[in-house]
Structure 1
Amino acid sequence: MKNEKYIDFLRSYFKVQIKENDFVDTNLSFRIKKLFSFLCVDINNLPFVIAKYNGTNFNVIEFDYVKNLIKESSNNHVVFYFDKLSIQNKMSLTNYGLGYIIGDNQFYIPELFIMINENYNHKPVKPNSKLSVGAQNILFKLLVLDKVDVYQKGLSDILDEKEYEVYRAVKELENKKILIIEKPLGHRVIMLDDKEAIWEKAKPFLKSPIIDEKYVDKNSLFSQNIQLVESGHFALSKKGMIVTNEEVYAIENRQYKDIKDNVKQAFEGHENAVKLQVWKSKIVKTANNEINPFILYLSLKNDYDERVQKDYEEYISKYWR
């Protein structure tokens, strides 16, 4: 097991050190030794036994039994390795609080997540500290759902995000008391408050992803092979009562770097000028490829025009119903 690809995969996230002869399996039956191969490692300085499953019949109760045997005899944490696993079986492991690694591209190790959160708790937290971009983007996606009352592991499929990203984001939102996580089985994510109250709690913690705004020539911009997203007043004008003659588009910084040499600069007010917002992070979109209504707030946040603010509040009010 020592040269398995998944070790390198884990090392892209954690500090992993393989250990020699640290686990004595005398308390395990011959049958269990036949079903599993064992590898002792330290992951982020925590002792683990990685139990690679060599059998064919999935039995979560047996996995839980093996974990407890190893934990009691050696005080090691246990994470199970599988070459592949169905969604149903992943959910079963999660509901039992069992960590797993699948191939060299998926893992769920609850002990490590707990350790990370405990480290956060030892650090002084400023009351006005901002959310990470990942956490606020997950929140924006949650707020457009009809309801949120699902197991955390299922959220990655609903939101089309990586499981690890969802876990970290949800824990951050929980620490800010924006979302509620029901424990212990499955870590169900629920919205006890109505969505409007959650939005109001979240607003002070949001930070703008816009790193630059500039006026460019519309023709040279549209000649590039990219998909632009309407933003700012321009996007809001399509939904409400305000009228604007200024076109505003958002683009992610990584895309802008590819085209910036081919896009001509322009002056504000020029006949063919459009405003281009360069975003540091991913632009969250709806199913219709429009800018997410809650991330749109960040492109309007510093606009103190009462008409704009009122129109925006009316626009998002449909999500409270």
Structure 2
Amino acid sequence: MKRIQKFLQETVGLSANLEKLPDSQLKKLPMYLEYGYNYYLLTVEGHQLVLAYVDENLKTAGQLKKQSQAMSNLLNLPVAFVMDNQSSQLKRRLIQEKIGFIVPESQVYLPQFLISLTENARPVHSFPELLSPSAQLLLLYHLQKEYLEPFSLKEIAQKLDYTPKTITKIAAELKSKNLCQIIGTKEKRLVFIVDRKQLWTMAEPQMQQPISKVFFADSKDKVKFCQSGDAALAHYTFLAETGKEAYAIYKPEFEELKEKKYWEYIDELEGDVRIEVWKYNPRILSINGYIDPLSLYLCYREDTNERVAAEINELIHNRKW
């Protein structure tokens, strides 16, 4: 467990003491919990947290939530799980449920523990549940289009069509989640502390579904939108083209076109063309007229179709970072 101490020191800047949970505490747990995990006591500046090591037996977010609540109530201490090689979907669900966890050398999410430190007037860290759409766009741009480290925040704002104030907020958000550092005085820049592949691994569970709403409309040719849906799946994977049209449109652009009556017909249930209203601008990330591959993955990562799930996972696995 020394790697956890090292990881916390390097990523969050916390100097921690880690030891086996005393038997007197273990005896407070019912047998199914006492023998279901290996327990450790993490101490940082007088604050304590119980770490429960999750073995390779798969558990759902619902099970972990119920068990963490039981452990915390019985031990009178906050609880977080230590996990190796768990799915990004499980980690994403844990974040949504505000359940703390550590993936050694990869990710740390400890909301209760770090909030308790903050309440004692020492602001250590804050963890929004999910990345904001604007912060997500910046990361996806850095991961797929070009490295952003050489550019000032002002220059990044121009590339992403955001105001300098918005970029400053994004930078603070990413820094708070240990995804980057901010350097410089007059001209501030971002420094990403890990490579692209590792950055994706750390950030993906905290990324949002890009689509905020779906409409259906009549087919139009005047405005060129980013192709999405089945066409993008066929473009990036071995799935066959279905002939169904689907396009991704940034919400402000959609609202403007809708107000101007660009579509003669638009409905929430049926139509010739699927219109995906996006939380960030897909044009900025678009590649050859299609939505970017990482956003495509985010659109379909919870799809129940096994062939689709297999293909998008393969898309990430084979990606050249």
TM-score (norm 1): 0.50
TM-score (norm 2): 0.50
Larger radius of gyration: 1
